[in-house]
């Protein structure tokens, strides 16, 4: 079912049985789910490595996490502007168009990443102070964000190649390479974070070399893992893919119409994600004055919850591909069906994951950090948010379906209303009396509102107007 298999089936204009649709959804979703789970497991290990350095080290990374999410969302939007068009072209069977879009996207997103890189490295020295953190963690937070910003072009090309492969129908290759990247991240971190030390292996003491870079080592480890994998990801897209391959000659000239369509898709998406991430930054500003323990607990709670919601993003990627290819093939019936099937699958999986995490989170926090105060507070606040997991799933996967149809403006507005109208005012008010608990109650409330809004948008079917 990879590459052109599903798109060819759509173009035949025949009815596809429900069982076959479910099989298609499962085959396209499973690689993405497994990749997201492996990524989160590696992040758990990564967080545990930093957590071993103490609450201050964890807090310094947690402080700038929302800022890195903001920059990452802008890069995702830049790639989506071209990858969604590619899904439409695959659905229509126009592979030369796919290759043209890929060439244009490489030039465009590299320029965008270069600008973002200069911006991030330029503000890295001021960001911790702007966020209101304790001066004791400014240096580590500054160094982490500077290293992050220095490798943005590598991250951007990785995101682009991954999205292009997924929208062409190849979910397996990017999933395997993402898992490899996460494994490399742990390996690099192991040697970069800690100092040279002795460990016991089968009863014998051996010396393990280490750079002893602490938080900087965590940032460098992640950067090096992206750098290693980006060559493989770009090779898979630009050379190995039968749909995207750039081995044959073709024009690298930017096309005005394609850039306009990319802007119509990407700019609202960037606005949507920026609204979310800027709210996270403001939320960090609300959490920061609560103290180092609160910042660390907040950061670890976000990491712990990610095992529940990241599979939803794997299904969301499959939803974007299926809906986008159905749009290109002119199949309104399949676009509607795949949108609801993937959303239902996401709700089911994330609900089960939320229930498991509700009871398992004390053990998860014990793994992530040895600090008992951080453990207790993190478990307490996370359980409030887990109650909203089903509606969180609905918002994540429905967003992917709408994106596949090129519907990004209204979802951006809905996110803006939800997060700025519900989460931030509630978080600011409740944090005054309830501390970090109030912030997470506000988060759970807003996620529930967002899920309902996206289900209404999906049900009204205005997004199907893109099918002619």
Quick: pLDDT tens for 148-161: 999 999 999 999 99
DSSP 463: G
What's the CA gap between 399 and 315, in Å, rounded?
A: 11
Helix pair 409-418, 256-287: axis angle to 10 deg: 10
pLDDT of residue 47: 65
- Judged by phi (left if over 0) then psi (alpha if -120 to 50, else beta), residue 254 lies in beta
For residue 448, pLDDT beyond 80: yes
Beta bridge partners of 204: 201
Q: What mean pLDDT is predicted for residues 120-144?
A: 87
Q: Work out the average pLDDT over 222-249.
A: 90
- Closest Cα to residue 76, out of 157, 139, 185, 13? 157
Residue 145's contacts (CB-CB under 8 Å, 6 or more residues apart) are 64, 67, 68, 120, 124, 127
Number of structural domains (the chain) is 1
Paired tokens of 154 = 């590598």
**Cα distances (angstroms) measured from residue 363 to each of 39, 185, 356, 375:** 19, 23, 12, 9
Q: H or E segment at 32?
A: helix 18-51
Domain range for 104 is 5-466
Q: Two tokens at 391?
A: 């509606």
Residue ranges with strand state E in 160-287? 195-201, 204-211
Give residue-wise pLDDT tens across range 250-276: 888 989 999 998 888 888 878 777 777
Q: What pLDDT shows up at residue 13?
A: 65
Identify whether the C-beta of residue 28 lies closer than 8 Å to the C-beta of residue 6: yes
DSSP 232-262: HHHHIIIII-TTT---S----PPPHHHHHHH
Work out the pLDDT band at 229, boundaries 50, 70, 90: very high
Q: pLDDT at residue 467 above 60?
A: no
Q: Hey, what are 383's tokens?
A: 């359980």
State the pLDDT at residue 235: 94
Q: Is the pLDDT of residue 468 over 60?
A: no
CB 448 within 8 A of CB 426: no
> pLDDT tens digit string along 327-347?
877 788 888 888 999 999 999
């Amino acid at each position: 079912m990879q590459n052109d298999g599903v798109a060819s089936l759509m173009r035949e204009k025949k009815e596809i049985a429900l069982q076959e649709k479910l099989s298609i959804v499962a085959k396209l979703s499973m690689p993405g789910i497994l990749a997201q789970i492996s990524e989160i497991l590696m992040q758990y290990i990564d967080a545990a490595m930093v957590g071993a350095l103490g609450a201050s080290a964890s807090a310094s990374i947690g402080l700038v996490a929302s800022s890195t999410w903001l920059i990452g969302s802008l890069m995702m939007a830049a790639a989506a502007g071209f990858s969604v068009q590619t899904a439409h072209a695959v659905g229509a069977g126009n592979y030369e168009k796919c290759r043209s879009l890929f060439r244009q996207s490489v030039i465009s997103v590299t320029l965008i990443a270069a600008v973002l890189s200069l911006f991030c490295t330029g503000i890295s020295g001021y960001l911790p102070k702007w966020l209101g953190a304790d001066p004791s963690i400014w240096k580590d937070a500054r160094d982490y964000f500077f290293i992050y910003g220095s490798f943005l072009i590598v991250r951007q090309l990785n995101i682009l190649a991954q999205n292009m492969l997924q929208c062409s129908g190849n979910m397996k290759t990017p999933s395997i390479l993402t898992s490899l990247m996460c494994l490399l991240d742990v390996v690099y971190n192991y040697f970069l974070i800690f100092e040279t030390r002795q460990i016991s292996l089968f009863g014998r003491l051996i010396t393990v070399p280490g750079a002893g870079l602490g938080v900087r080592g965590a940032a460098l480890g992640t950067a090096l893992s992206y750098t290693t994998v980006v060559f493989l990801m770009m090779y898979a897209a630009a050379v190995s893919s039968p749909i995207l391959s750039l081995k044959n000659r073709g024009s690298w000239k930017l096309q005005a119409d394609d850039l306009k369509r990319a802007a119509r898709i990407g700019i609202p998406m960037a606005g949507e994600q920026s609204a979310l991430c800027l709210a996270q930054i403001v939320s960090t500003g609300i959490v920061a004055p609560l103290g180092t323990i609160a910042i660390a607990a907040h950061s670890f709670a976000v990491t712990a919850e990610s095992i529940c919601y990241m599979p939803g993003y794997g299904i969301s990627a499959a939803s974007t591909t299926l809906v986008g290819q159905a749009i290109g093939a002119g199949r309104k019936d399949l676009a509607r069906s795949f949108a609801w099937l993937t959303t239902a699958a996401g709700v089911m999986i994330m609900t089960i994951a939320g229930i498991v995490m509700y009871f398992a989170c004390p053990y998860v926090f014990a793994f992530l950090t040895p600090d008992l105060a951080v453990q207790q507070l993190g478990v307490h606040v996370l359980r409030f948010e887990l109650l909203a997991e089903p509606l969180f799933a609905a918002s994540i996967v429905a967003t992917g379906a709408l994106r596949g149809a090129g519907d990004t403006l209204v979802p951006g507005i809905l996110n803006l209303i939800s997060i700025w109208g519900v989460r931030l005012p509630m978080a600011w008010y409740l944090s005054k009396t309830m501390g970090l608990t109030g912030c997470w109650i506000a988060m759970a409330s807003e996620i529930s509102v967002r899920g309902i809004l996206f289900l209404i948008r999906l049900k009204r079917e205005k997004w199907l107007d893109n099918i002619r």
